[in-house]
Amino acid sequence: MKKYSEMTKEELSLELEQLNDSYKKYQEMNLTLDMSRGKPCKEQLDISMGMMDALNSQVDLRCEDGTDCRNYGLLDGIPEAKVLLGDMMENHPDNIIIYGNSSLNVMYDTVARAMTHGIMGHTPWVKLDKVKFLCPVPGYDRHFAITEYFGIEMIPVPMSPTGPDMDMVEKLVSEDESIKGIWCVPKYSNPQGYSYSDDTVRRFARLQPKAADFRIFWDNAYGIHHLYDDKQDYLVEILAECKKAGNPDMVYKFASTSKITFPGSGIAALATSLNNLEDIKKQLRNQTIGHDKVNQLRHVRFFKDIHGMTEHMKKHADIIRPKFEMVEQILNEELGGLGIGAWTEPNGGYFISFDALEGGAKEIVSMAKKAGVKMTDAAATWPYHNDPHDSNIRIAPTLPPIDDLRTATKLFALCVKIVSAQKILAKN
């Protein structure tokens, strides 16, 4: 089929007429489909139900150091949970704090602590005239929501298949002392599914920021979330690289089991240098006596070790891989060769990133919603919800049943065609 831009006005007008007829048929179906957020589906939650049987009223609830997990204590987590999450994150247990159910909560707390009390003796950010963060785009909307909430100025940095534009990152952090951090989803990034190259990770480790309290917020949310056994992205371990480069304190690395077990009842972790850990624990001692150790023990008893977790993740992949492949197949069948969109085909993670013709994303999402398919708001992947190109749309395939997902994706592709045809006709 011809590219839309190569069609005559008459050809494209006829095409648009047929597309609008198809759209009316979808509207008559009274659909209520949701692919707006990257939530696990019911089948994914079901594979963790054995965790509910890992503990009961008859079992020994002491962890390996003898601590009774029902009681107070162990501020930084039970030893075996630190080993399990350390293996998952590729970090030594001594460099890890185990938290509650949400890594997002830990990231929020980390920014809040820097605002009110500073980092390792430096001036609290709230006392500074200006605080800025670098934000790879498109990126994770909840990261941007945290920095926006605290009034931190966000600077977009373009993403590529190898990671953020490191020339830009290096220049900005070396020149501007008010830049205090950067958000990163380094593996199977949200939303594009890109993984940082070895060179990108090493350039991060060798950064020479003007601000002594600059930190890389390294959210490795999808570290073991592969879709394939034979096509898995590899990520260089950032803490080790920073130590080699003489910047041991520059990274806060976050992860959780939110999309491994139960999103509302997982365990989160932070890995960082011993200096950073001591700084964090000073505040943490005033905040809590310890997080949910019974839940930590439940996770360890269920998985036993990292091998159990890896096998568990293969079950997740078997459930969601067909969904990703179906979305990619429909996009290729419906939009391939038309020159009206581009999309990623990731090896893992939770999202597919779609780039429409400039100025079309909001209209496409709005059209899909009017026909009964809810998607992530266009521009949510940019700071302040301001996508200057109005082109990026995040597709979240995991939650809907596969038949619903098929319908939703076909409707989405139809909306892309209609909006694109309208734009090209208006332009010509």
SS3 385: helix
Q: Express each pLDDT in 304-327 by its tens digit.
A: 999 999 999 999 999 999 999 999
pTM of the model: 0.97
Domain with CATH 3.90.1150.10 in the chain: 4-44+310-427
Assign a CATH topology to domain 4-44+310-427.
Answer: Aspartate Aminotransferase, domain 1 (3.90.1150)
% of the chain at pLDDT higher than 90: 98
Residue 1 in this model has a pLDDT that exceeds 80: no
Nearest Cα to Cα of residue 271 among 293, 291, 296, 248: 248
Give me the amino acid identity at 86: G
- 35 with 400: CB under 8 angstroms? yes
| Mean pLDDT, residues 286-291 | 94
| Mean pLDDT, residues 238-261 | 98
Strands 132-137 and 179-184: parallel
Give me the amino acid identity at 424: I
Domain with CATH 3.40.640.10 in the chain: 63-304
| Mean pLDDT, residues 218-246 | 98
Q: Express each pLDDT in 138-174 by its tens digit.
A: 999 999 999 999 999 999 999 999 999 999 999 999 9
pLDDT value at position 283?
93
Report residue 311 as tokens: 């096998």
- Residues with Cβ < 8 Å from 369, sequence gap 6 or more? 375
Phi-psi domain of 337 (left: phi exceeds 0; alpha: psi -120 through 50; beta: other): left
Give, in order, the Cα–Cα distances in Å from 51 to each of 47, 79, 302: 9, 19, 5
- Using CB atoms within 10 A of its CB, is residue 216 exposed (0-12), middle (13-18) or buried (19+)? buried
- ∠390-395-399 over CA atoms, to 5°? 150
CA distance 209 to 232: 32
pLDDT value at position 428?
84
Q: Express each pLDDT in 99-110 by its tens digit.
A: 999 999 999 999
Secondary structure element (H or E) that encloses residue 315, with its range: helix 306-335
pLDDT value at position 339?
97
- 251 with 338: CB under 8 angstroms? no
Assign a CATH topology to domain 63-304.
Answer: Aspartate Aminotransferase; domain 2 (3.40.640)
How many CB atoms are located within 10 Å of the residue 60 CB?
Answer: 9
CA distance 232 to 391: 28
Question: Phi and psi at residue 28, in whole multiples of 5°?
Answer: -70, -15
Q: Express each pLDDT in 32-55 by its tens digit.
A: 999 898 999 999 999 999 999 999
What does the mean pLDDT of the chain come to?
97
Nearest Cα to Cα of residue 341 among 404, 405, 419, 422: 419
